[in-house]
């Protein structure tokens, strides 16, 4: 299984400057790539461009190849097929992506039905497996729960279950643990790591370099819409070449150093 290759990605928002300005990324199967950088560097727009979730009017250039398919070039019908089965997405605020009037099970059935013609019992079985695979205990009880009954960590795990229910090759995760406490963050990212270990590629957007250090294999540093550094996490975080990476690291190291 090959991974995701992004070349020369550009994003222009209507009437605005070019925010993403020639991004190249290489993400192998089974790898967690952390996309780091300060606010406004273009991290989220990069992810949204790859997921084809940009606001109307945004113009995208370049390619994002997954198994010889250019995600940026497929038509709407192709996109519907790819979403879920090739590409799973998760965002910072998971409850915003859940329908408040629909149970957890309802969400999973809806997602699975879009890609599989199977009896309901079998869809439910797959949904329960996805919940368990997202690290949720007692999936059968959770099946009946509504979004408001979930804790932040549970909601993000339900989002993970939805994103992975159809076994996508690539998982895009944009600041998914920013609103979670440290313990829940570790649990969610350990689960994400397990998905990578099972062969999935994970693009993890984070502004937290310590998160990248602990959970990513490779790191790409984004600055003003360009990748200034891209390599193994150990190399980028312990021997940074770009000035911005050094600045970010110095800032983050103060907290790490205080802990040891």
Partner 1 sequence: MTAPALLTCEQVTRVLGDRRRRTTALDGVDLDVRAGESLALVGRSGSGKSTLVGVLAALDRPDSGRLLLDGRDVWSLPAAHRRAARRRVGLIFQDVASSFDPRYPVERVIAEGLPERSAGDVGELLTEVGLDPTFAPRHPATLSGGERQRVALARALSTRPALLLADEPTTGLDVLAQHHVLDLVARVRRDTGLTVVFVTHDLGVAARMADRIAVLADGRIVEQLPTGDLRHARHGATRELLAATPRLLPSDDTRHPAFRRAGSSCDSAGPHQRGWHSPREER
Give min distance, CB of 59 to partner 1, in A: 26
In the complex with partner 1, which residue's Cβ is closer, 31 or 174? Answer: 31
Strands (E), the chain: 4-12, 18-27, 32-36, 59-66, 69-70, 87-90, 170-174, 201-205, 218-223, 226-232
Candidate list 54, 102, 114, 186; residue touching partner 1; CB under 8 A: 186
Computed over its alpha carbons, how large is the radius of gyration of the chain?
18
Contact string 193-212 vs partner 1 (x = CB under 8 A): xx-xxxxx------xxxxx-
Told to check if 235 binds partner 1 by CB under 8 A, we report: yes
**Residue 147 gets which letter from DSSP?**
G
Tokens 């995208």 map to which residue?
60
User: Which of these ranges, 8-16, 26-34, 75-83, 116-124, lies near partner 1 under the rule CB under 8 A?
Assistant: 26-34
Listed in sequence order, the DSSP H helices in 114-181 are 120-133, 139-142, 152-164
Judged by beta carbon, residue 106 or residue 187, the one nearer partner 1 is 187
Q: In this chain, which of 28, 79, 224, 242 binds partner 1, going by CB under 8 A? A: 28
Contact between 12 and 59 under an 8 Å Cβ cutoff? The reply is yes
For residue 162, report the phi and psi dihedrals to the nearest 5 degrees: -65, -40
Tell me how far, at minimum, the Cβ of 203 lies from partner 1, in Å: 13
Stretch that binds partner 1, among 56-64, 66-74, 95-103, 192-200 (CB under 8 A): 192-200
- The token duo for 147 is 């979004």
Q: How many CB atoms lie within 10 A of CB 96?
A: 10
> By the criterion CB under 8 A, which residues form the site for partner 1?
1, 3, 28-31, 38-39, 151-153, 167, 178, 180-187, 189-190, 193-194, 196-200, 207-211, 213-215, 217-218, 231-232, 234-235, 237-238, 247-249, 251-256, 258-260
């Amino acid at each position: 299984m090959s991974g995701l290759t992004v070349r020369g990605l550009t994003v222009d928002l209507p009437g605005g400057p070019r925010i993403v300005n020639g991004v190249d990324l290489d993400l192998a199967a089974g790898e967690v790539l952390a996309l780091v950088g300060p606010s406004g560097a273009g991290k989220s727009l990069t992810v949204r461009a790859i997921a084809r979730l940009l606001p109307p009017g945004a113009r995208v250039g370049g390619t994002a190849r997954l198994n010889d398919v250019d995600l940026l070039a497929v038509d709407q019908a192709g996109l519907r097929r790819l979403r879920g089965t090739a590409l799973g997405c998760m965002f910072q605020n998971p409850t915003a992506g859940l329908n408040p009037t629909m149970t957890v099970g309802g969400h999973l059935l809806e997602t699975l039905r879009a890609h599989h013609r199977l009896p309901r019992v079998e869809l439910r079985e797959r949904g329960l497996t996805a919940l368990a695979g997202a690290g949720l205990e007692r999936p059968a009880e959770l099946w009946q729960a509504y979004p408001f009954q979930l804790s932040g960590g549970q909601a993000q795990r339900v989002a993970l279950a939805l994103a992975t229910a159809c076994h996508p090759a690539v998982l895009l995760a944009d600041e998914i643990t920013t609103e979670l406490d440290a313990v829940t963050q570790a649990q969610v990212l350990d689960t994400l790591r397990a998905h990578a270990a099972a062969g999935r590629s994970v693009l993890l957007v984070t502004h937290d370099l310590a998160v990248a250090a602990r959970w990513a294999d490779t790191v790409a540093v984004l600055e003003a819409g360009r990748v200034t550094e891209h390599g193994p996490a150990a190399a980028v975080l312990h021997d940074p070449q770009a000035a911005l990476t050094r600045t970010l690291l110095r800032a983050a190291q103060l907290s790490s150093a205080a802990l040891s």
